[in-house]
């Protein structure tokens, strides 16, 4: 009897071992080049410390191909968030963060969110493409809408502030109250200055 009892105990323990990972973790994320723990935790709606604790990490160092377990207390799904315009993919969030970083690096945080808001306002507008990538990579009369696309800065990884600003913009924060344009305050283009100005944040002017 003792022998069979021990077998049952061992089998039960094995079942628990197999079941626990799916119960304890909501998803498994494979790290891609250029990603940071801050970006990943933001995408899944959790914190850096929570992800580190779940994976036994002592610092913030991660590497491409590494698999990270995401705790099941995450507030968002593994790949999408919503801003009233359908599902936004993780790659969209990354692209939005990169345009924010390349356009507003060194500017105050509110200006970063405002840049993200302008992109999203364009997505919602019938006069612009209806996707984040479509807006950012739009070419009009042979000209890119955003200089970082032309000079390649759009390909630089976003910093933590820009990732957070992208999330705040997606969550509905719009410091511009619906602006569709922004430009540096040192430009002399009369067409841009003729537009109705919504707000000026540092060196960036936001307009309709």
* Displacement of CA 140 from its chain's centroid (Å): 26
Q: What CATH number does domain 81-207 carry, 3.20.20.150, 1.10.10.2520, 1.10.10.10, 1.20.120.450?
A: 1.10.10.2520
* CATH code of the domain made up of 2-71: 3.10.350.10
**Predicted pLDDT at 10:** 57
CA distances from 112 to 107, 119, 162, 164, 166 (A): 7, 11, 7, 9, 8
Is pTM beyond 0.85? Reply is: no
**Predicted pLDDT at 115:** 98
**Predicted pLDDT at 194:** 95
Q: How far apart are CA 190 and CA 169, in angstroms?
A: 29
**Predicted pLDDT at 34:** 74
Domain assignments of the chain as residue spans, ordered by start: 2-71, 81-207
**Predicted pLDDT at 145:** 94
> Is the Cβ–Cβ distance between 172 and 82 less than 8 Å?
no
The whole-number mean pLDDT for each consecutive block of 10 residues of the chain, a chain of 208 residues, reads 57 45 60 78 77 89 88 50 62 95 96 97 95 95 93 94 93 94 94 95 97
**Predicted pLDDT at 21:** 43
């Amino acid at each position: 009897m003792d022998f069979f009892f021990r077998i049952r105990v061992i089998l039960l323990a094995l079942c628990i071992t197999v079941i626990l990972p799916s119960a304890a973790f909501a998803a498994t994320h494979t790290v891609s080049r250029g990603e940071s723990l801050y970006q990943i935790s933001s995408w899944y709606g959790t914190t850096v410390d929570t992800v580190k604790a779940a994976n036994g990490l002592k610092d913030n160092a991660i590497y491409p191909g590494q698999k990270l377990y995401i705790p099941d207390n995450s507030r968002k799904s593994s790949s999408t968030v919503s801003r009233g315009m359908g599902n936004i993919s993780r790659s969209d969030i990354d692209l939005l963060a990169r345009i924010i970083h390349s356009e507003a690096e060194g500017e105050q945080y509110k200006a970063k969110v405002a840049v993200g808001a302008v992109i999203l306002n364009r997505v919602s507008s019938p006069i612009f493409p209806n996707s984040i990538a479509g807006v950012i990579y739009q070419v009009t009369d042979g000209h890119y809408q955003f200089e970082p696309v032309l000079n390649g800065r759009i390909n630089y990884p976003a910093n933590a502030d820009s990732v957070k600003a992208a999330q705040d913009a997606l969550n509905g924060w719009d410091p511009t109250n619906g602006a569709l344009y922004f430009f540096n305050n040192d430009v002399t283009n009369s067409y841009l200055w003729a537009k109705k100005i919504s707000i000026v944040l540092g060196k960036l002017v936001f307009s309709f």
